[in-house]
Amino acid sequence: MSLMEKIRRLLGRNIVRNNTPDIDSDIAINVEHLTMEFKVSNDKIDTLKEYFIRTIKRDKGESKKVKVLDDISFTVKRGEKLGILGFNGAGKSTLLRIIAGIYEPSDGQITINGKIAPLLELSAGFDKNYSGKDNIYLNGALLSMSKEFLDEKYDEIVEYSELGDYINYPVKNYSKGMKAKLGFSIATLIDPDILIIDEILSVGDIKFRKKSGEKLNEMMADGVTVLLVSHSINQVRRICDRCIWIDSGELIMEGEVNEVCDAYVEDANYAKIKKERKMKRKLRKKYG
């Protein structure tokens, strides 16, 4: 690799974002050859001393990386609802985080056409010493909302979150459900083109759950593109119209929702049967 090329690679961005959607294009998200590698944490060189010693010894362990996503490509059309299936640790959340911009992929290209609302960690931006009111502004700023917008929507947020007078209390005194309610109320304010959801369809008590479900349905009905990670197969079947299935970082299957869901469920059941058989064999061996 020539030096110039190396520099260009170092400076280059793997993610292209168009916040104002290109109306002519019917593609919302295009992922090409996406690869993500994480360094194994116990191999991470954290101190200078270690770095120098290992540079001299030439054993920085470049190979000790875990591929969380391996050469994944898929396209999501505008208005399409895509479900992402996979067992724990398959790389689903990492994929969503990359699309949301939290992680920079090791390799590959992503094109995003439209404004994203990531509903990943709803209360991550809270400062626990702030009152609910101050947190609305802080959290809104972190989600790239403007002050005028928040001023205008403030009453709506307070009303929607059902917090009442609690809005003036510090968030550290909130219950988990109250925090989630406030987070949900802020995060769903924007009018996104693409909605990224990671298992958060149940927020708060039964009353709020119904309300938040309705709000999400309302958002989805508007022709918004949705990326949904969920372990509830029924939910995926109900919401999505297409599905991808990821296992150990590789894309195994892509297609119509019921088709992929059926295959996924079958595989899960099969894995269970296989495990049971193995157990039985073991027991038989042990006790004759």
Q: Give me the least distance between CB of 90 and another protein, in Å please.
A: 19
Q: Are 149 and 190 in contact (CB under 8 A)?
A: no
55 or 258: CB nearest another protein: 55
Q: Give me the least distance between CB of 37 and another protein, in Å please.
A: 9
Q: Say which residue the tokens 């056409």 belong to.
A: 113
Distance CA 10, CA 252 (A): 31
Beta bridge partners of 111: 16, 30
196 or 239: CB nearest another protein: 196
Q: Give me the least distance between CB of 172 and another protein, in Å please.
A: 11
Q: Give me the least distance between CB of 229 and another protein, in Å please.
A: 15
Tell me how crowded residue 153 is: count the other CB atoms within 10 A of its CB.
18
147 or 275: CB nearest another protein: 147
3 or 10: CB nearest another protein: 10
Q: Give me the least distance between CB of 69 and another protein, in Å please.
A: 13
128 or 274: CB nearest another protein: 128
Tokens of 65: 């990386």
Q: What is the DSSP string of 150-217?
A: HHHHHHHHHHHHT-GGGGGSBGGGS-HHHHHHHHHHHHT-S--SEEEEES-S--SSHHHHHHHHHHHH
Q: Give me the least distance between CB of 122 and another protein, in Å please.
A: 10
Q: Say which residue the tokens 């949904």 belong to.
A: 228
17 or 281: CB nearest another protein: 17
> In degrees to the nearest 10, what's the CA dihedral of 156, 160, 164, 168?
-60
Burial 108-129 (b: 16+ CB within 10 A, else e): bbbbbbbbbbbbbebbebbeee
Helix/strand/coil for 30: strand
Q: Give me the least distance between CB of 121 and another protein, in Å please.
A: 4
128 or 278: CB nearest another protein: 128
Contact residues toward another protein (CB under 8 A) are 10-11, 13, 17, 19, 38-39, 44-49, 51, 100-104, 115-116, 118, 120-121, 124-125, 127, 129-130, 137-138, 141-147
